[in-house]
Amino acid sequence: FSAVDVIRAKRDGARLSDDQIDWVIDAYTRGAVADEQMSALAMAVFLNGMDTDETARWTAAMVDSGETLTLHSDRPTVDKHSTGGVGDKITLPLAPLVAACGAAVPQLSGRGLGHTGGTLDKLESIPGWRARLTTEEILAQLRDVGAVVCAATEGLAPADRKLYALRDVTGTVESIPLIASSIMSKKIAEGADALVLDVKFGSGAFMKTADDARALAKALVGIGVSRGLKISALITDMSIPLGRAVGNAVEVAESIEVLRGDGPADVVELTLALAREMLDLAGLSDVDPGRMLASGEAYETWARMIRAQGGDPEAPLPEPKHVHVIKADRDGVVTKLDAYAVGVAAWRLGAGRARKEDPVQAAAGILCHAKPGESVRAGDPVLELRTDTPEAVDAALSTLVGSYEIGDTAPEIGPLILETLR
């Protein structure tokens, strides 16, 4: 094969053959296809697409570029993946909850880049907690605790690691076949029997409209089905932040409220809906996750999961050096709170990073004291900005201009969970 022939074929709108796909992914992983060639191919895919079979083969080739975990467990294994959002801490309460219900939950996660936070960054605000585990430690923790949230090991889908970094700098991220194969290659390599996807739409999400989210969900589910995975997808609204907390330590604190049977209604609703879907796929639909939250069993599993990774679940979480409160300038009801603006503002306060190698601030973030539909009086706190770097407040404030509004009548708020695709 020649890389130029493969690029020309896709450039001219042809379907790539299985052999071409296997060859190009393998040769790129080995360094035999150059970055400039792969970026030309990625752009050709971006422009001309791939059909369902091509996308499934592309995914399989990326899985085969590295190792796959074999999860020996006497419990059914089930995983969740979210396409990312603002205040999306759902993995934190969900993994221990579903484990408490009897499944094994291997949740290999990433770090945040841009306005969406990373699960590992959030958990690292817990004193002592470590994200990097060996494969042996992952398997042992799945057996002993039932839930593990940790960094993906280097050996899983190395082709995707390389290709995603390349797409990031060549304007080729926003392609459904490339996104779907990227996500699914990692999830398939991780070896769970079942997978529930939370595909988000709205300003704070990757996909801005419900139609785009639906198309991505279809592509993801199609790849899963082609691999014999039990899979389903929830399409969920990400136009306002999820819960009240956006950031790192603040999201851990809110997750703990949920695990203690309390917490914001939207976070509880989505956690329970995803838990029910996961338990259904795992053949455990007779267990009631709501009872596990109320009884404290989910919290107990959380505490064991955190301790198993060196963390102290009872330790106080870091507090910010500086707090700036935005207050309501009138009586009324909150009519708007834009997820994207809140995500970017939290990121500017230090909760996120601009470059992969940057550190994040554990205590940075935003608390949304008043959300759409809630009444406020003049002087009530609306948004609380938290940071260790007070000089970042001005940038966050300028991001938030126009992002929230207080009016006279309560806004229409659509359903959080639009539909489920099976």
Residues in 348-387 at the binding interface with ligand URA, rule: CB under 6 A: none
Return the sign of the alpha-carbon dihedral for residues 383, 388, 394, 396.
Answer: negative
> In this complex, which beta carbon is closest to ligand URA, that of residue 83 or of residue 239?
83
In whole angstroms, the minimum distance from the beta carbon of 85 to ligand URA comes to 12
- Give the H/E segment covering residue 49: none
Among positions 133-172, residues that touch ligand URA (CB under 6 A) are 164
Residue 179 or 234: the one with the smaller Cβ distance to ligand URA is 179
Taking the complex as a whole, the smallest distance from the CB of residue 319 to ligand URA amounts, in Å, to 32
Between 142 and 205, CB nearer to ligand URA: 205
**What is the spatial distance between Cα 41 and Cα 33, in angstroms, rounded to a whole number?**
11
* The amino acid at 76: P
Strand partners, 314: none
Q: Which is nearer to ligand URA, 174 or 394 (CB)?
A: 174
Of 125, 175, 182, 185, the active-site residue reads: 182
Q: Which C-beta is closer to ligand URA: that of 201 or that of 302?
A: 201
Considering 79, 160, 193, 266, which one is annotated as catalytic?
160
Question: Which region, judged by CB under 6 A, interacts with ligand URA, from 96-104, 130-138, 176-184, 383-391?
Answer: 176-184
Catalytic residue among 161, 186, 200, 304: 186
160 assigned to active site: yes
Helix or strand (DSSP H, E) at 31:
none
Q: Is 233 a binder of ligand URA (CB under 6 A)?
A: no
Is 182 among the catalytic positions? yes
* Rounded CA separation 349/386 (Å): 7
Q: 53 Cβ partners below 8 Å, 6+ apart?
A: none
**Nearest Cα to 396, choosing from 358, 352, 341?**
341
Instruction: Tell me the closest approach of the beta carbon of residue 51 to ligand URA, in angstroms.
Output: 18
Q: Tell me the window of 37-45, 173-181, 359-367, 375-383 that interacts with ligand URA (CB under 6 A).
A: 173-181
Task: Please report how close the Cβ of residue 185 comes to ligand URA at its closest, in angstroms.
Answer: 9
- Provide the minimum distance between the beta carbon of 313 and ligand URA in the complex, in angstroms, as a whole number: 29
Binds ligand URA (CB under 6 A): choice among 145, 183, 245, 360: 183
Structure tokens at 62: 């990326």
Residue 170 beta carbon to ligand URA: minimum distance, rounded to whole angstroms: 12
Number of shown-chain residues binding ligand URA (CB under 6 A): 6
Q: Which is nearer to ligand URA, 50 or 179 (CB)?
A: 179
**Which element (helix H / strand E) includes 187?**
helix 176-190
Cβ atoms of residues 68 and 274 within 8 Å = no
Q: Which is nearer to ligand URA, 23 or 164 (CB)?
A: 164
Active site residue 186: yes
Catalytic residue (choose from 115, 167, 214, 276): 167
422, with CB counted inside 10 A (0-12, 13-18, 19+), is exposed
| CB 189, min distance to ligand URA, A | 12
Q: Please state, in angstroms and rounded to a whole number, the distance separating the CA atoms of residues 156 and 154.
A: 6
**Burial class of 265 by CB neighbour count within 10 A (0 to 12, 13 to 18, 19+):** exposed
User: According to the binding rule CB under 6 A, does residue 123 interact with ligand URA?
Assistant: no
Closest CB to ligand URA among residues 81, 386: 81
Query: Within a 13 Å sphere around the CA of 334, how many CA atoms are in the beta-carbon half?
Result: 23
How far is the C-alpha of 238 from the C-alpha of 217, rounded, in Å?
15
Helices (H) and strands (E) in the chain, counts: 16, 13
Helix (H, G, I), strand (E, B) or coil at 90: coil
Shortest Cβ 417–ligand URA spacing (Å): 21
182 binds ligand URA (CB under 6 A): yes
The answer to whether the CB of 51 falls within 8 A of the CB of 15 is yes
Q: What is the edge-to-edge ordering of all strands in the sheet holding 375-376? A: 375-376, 332-337, 404-407
Contact status, residue 247 vs residue 345, Cβ threshold 8 Å:
no
From the list 174-182, 229-237, 271-279, 395-403, the region that binds ligand URA by CB under 6 A is: 174-182
Interface residue with ligand URA among 7, 179, 368, 400 (CB under 6 A) is 179
Angle formed by the axes of helices 297-308 and 249-259, to 10°? 140
- Least separation in angstroms between residue 186's CB and ligand URA is 6
Tokens found for residue 182: 């990227």
Residue with smaller CB distance to ligand URA, 62 or 142: 62
Residues at the contact surface with ligand URA, assessed by CB under 6 A: 164, 173, 178-179, 182-183
Which residues belong to the active site? 81, 160, 167, 182, 186
